[in-house]
């Protein structure tokens, strides 16, 4: 069945978005839903969006730069270490809690996230597919050994105590910040083989691991509807999942402030904050 398209041009999840919210509830009620979340879900936790309104223009480090140049690795690890302290201190917001409750109620079959902050798990979600990895893990690129990020952070702090004197820094969605000078920075290495360490996240220029995308695809394939919340869908992995949902003729709801690459294929677009919208959907679908 082809659903009519209904889009909201207004910025806030208030009475002006009630028609779109009502349409989404009518569309989703009784369905098993696959949910994809992006950076917009975590903005209420103090983690900024890459592309949201007012977001600064950034040039995230590419994987080839990290691999090929020690100075790039110094800059990355120095900024990531400072950012990690604030990143790790962020708490789940009511949107994350609503997602966990939607899962426990059987309304969604899990959550696919493009975020690396781990907040869905901390909010109580059980089946989380972190497409782009998680900042709380570190992996050796040589031998494959994994480390807890907290352990690496302790090593970094001991070897680079001067870094704590840096002025306030601006956090990015991947937990990185910009550092002016990193000449003195000591980069950590693998305590097992001496190899290169890297946070277990997908850098620009890397592919999403096949097993992760396969797991995410399985959630879409076993769903009756698809929600995109807080993602502009500018990253290829999100678009590929949307393509699968459309090919399967699933009704699609997009929740995001600002345009997304999925708007033209959404049956309902709710242009509002993800937290309040997810809370509203939980209240109405859980009746």
Respond yes or no: is residue 31 known to be catalytic.
no
Query: What does DSSP say about strands 133-140 and 146-148: parallel, antiparallel, or unpaired?
Result: antiparallel
Catalytic residue among 81, 96, 120, 132, which? Answer: 132
Helix %, strand %, coil % of the chain (to 5): 40, 15, 45
How many helices (DSSP H) and strands (DSSP E) are in the chain?
9, 10
Report whether 233 contacts 239 (CB < 8 A): yes
Please report, for residues 45, 148, 219, 282, the alpha-carbon distance to residue 89 in angstroms, rounded to integers and kept in the order given. Answer: 10, 16, 30, 26
SS3 216: helix
Q: Where are the alpha helices (DSSP H) in the chain?
A: 18-28, 63-68, 70-89, 94-104, 119-123, 149-159, 210-221, 236-247, 274-285
Radius of gyration from C-alpha coordinates of the chain: 20
Active site residues: 132
């Amino acid at each position: 069945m082809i659903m009519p398209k209904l889009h909201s041009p207004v910025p806030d999840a208030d009475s002006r978005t009630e028609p779109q919210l009502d349409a989404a509830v009518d569309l989703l009620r009784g369905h098993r839903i696959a949910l994809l979340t992006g950076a917009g879900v975590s903005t209420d936790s103090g983690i900024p969006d890459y592309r949201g309104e007012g977001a600064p223009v950034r040039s995230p480090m590419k994987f080839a730069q990290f691999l090929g140049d020690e100075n790039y690795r110094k800059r990355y690890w120095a900024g990531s270490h400072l950012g990690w302290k604030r990143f790790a201190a962020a708490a789940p917001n009511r949107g994350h809690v609503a997602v966990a409750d939607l899962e426990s109620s059987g309304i969604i079959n899990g959550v696919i996230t493009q975020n690396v902050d781990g907040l869905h798990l901390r909010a109580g979600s059980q089946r989380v597919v972190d497409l782009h990895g998680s900042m709380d893990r570190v992996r050796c690129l040589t031998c494959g050994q994994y480390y807890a990020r907290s352990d690496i952070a302790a090593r970094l702090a001991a070897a680079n105590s001067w870094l704590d004197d840096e002025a306030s820094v601006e956090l990015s969605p991947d937990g990185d910040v910009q550092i002016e000078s990193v000449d003195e920075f000591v980069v950590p290495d693998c305590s097992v083989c001496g190899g290169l360490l890297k946070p277990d996240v997908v850098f620009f220029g890397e592919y999403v691991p096949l097993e992760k995308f396969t797991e995410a695809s399985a959630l879409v394939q076993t769903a009756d509807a698809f929600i995109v919340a807080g993602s502009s869908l500018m990253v290829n992995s999100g678009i590929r999942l949307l393509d699968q949902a459309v090919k399967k003729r699933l009704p699609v709801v997009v929740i995001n402030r600002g345009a997304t690459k999925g708007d033209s294929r959404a049956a309902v677009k709710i242009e509002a904050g993800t937290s309040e919208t997810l809370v509203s959907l939980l209240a109405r679908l859980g009746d």
